[in-house]
Amino acid sequence: MPQVTLSVNGKSHTVDIEGRTLLVELLREKLRLTGTHVGCDTSQCGACVVHIDGESVKSCTTLAAMCEGASVTTIEGLAKADGTLHPMQEAFREYHALQCGFCTPGMVMSAVDLVQKHPEGLSELEIREGLEGNLCRCTGYHNIVKAIAAAAEVMHGKRETIAAAAQ
């Protein structure tokens, strides 16, 4: 059986796979990292978004075999080891940007990439457009947009804390 060796959340794994194994299957079924979700089969919903080498990708549309040597970050690896939440996670909580939580891991991972790619800041419209690859059925997105704007301020050092950005 083919194998792939990759780093997930800073830890190296060598995993038996089939040629057809998707990255999301490797994460959920082989490594039991079930925070990454599958919400569709047409690459539309973004519940499966993870980072490969720092960039957001849809793990349901990525072959595991193509991740040889890759560094993958999932929602489980976003907070610090001591449990301190990433500013994006904190902002989602502060702004009630999640309800059922199913789209949330993918939404957060996409949002982190979006903010990292825009050190100059993001307008509301840019945030909305930047979420094109993620569907949420619960929130109507409004609070997600607000959370990302606040997290961006903290991630880019314009505010100390999410609470300060929420003022």
Site for other proteins in 5-24 (CB under 8 A): 18-20, 22
Letters for 112-141 (x = contact with other proteins by CB under 8 A, - = none) are -xx----------x-xxxxxxxxxxxxxxx
- The answer to whether 73 contacts other proteins (rule: CB under 8 A) is no
Kindly give, in sequence order, each residue whose CB lies less than 8 Å from that of residue 96, ignoring residues fewer than 6 positions away: 139, 143
Using CB under 8 A as the binding rule, the residues of this chain from 79 to 98 that contact other proteins are 79, 85, 89, 92-94, 96, 98
User: How far, in Å, CA of 14 to CA of 76, rounded?
Assistant: 19
Cβ nearer to other proteins, comparing 104 with 150: 104
Which residue in 70, 104, 112, 151 binds other proteins (CB under 8 A)?
A: 104
**Short-list 100, 150, 105, CA closest to 124:** 150
* DSSP secondary structure of 136-152: -SSS-SHHHHHHHHHHH
- The answer to whether 166 contacts other proteins (rule: CB under 8 A) is no
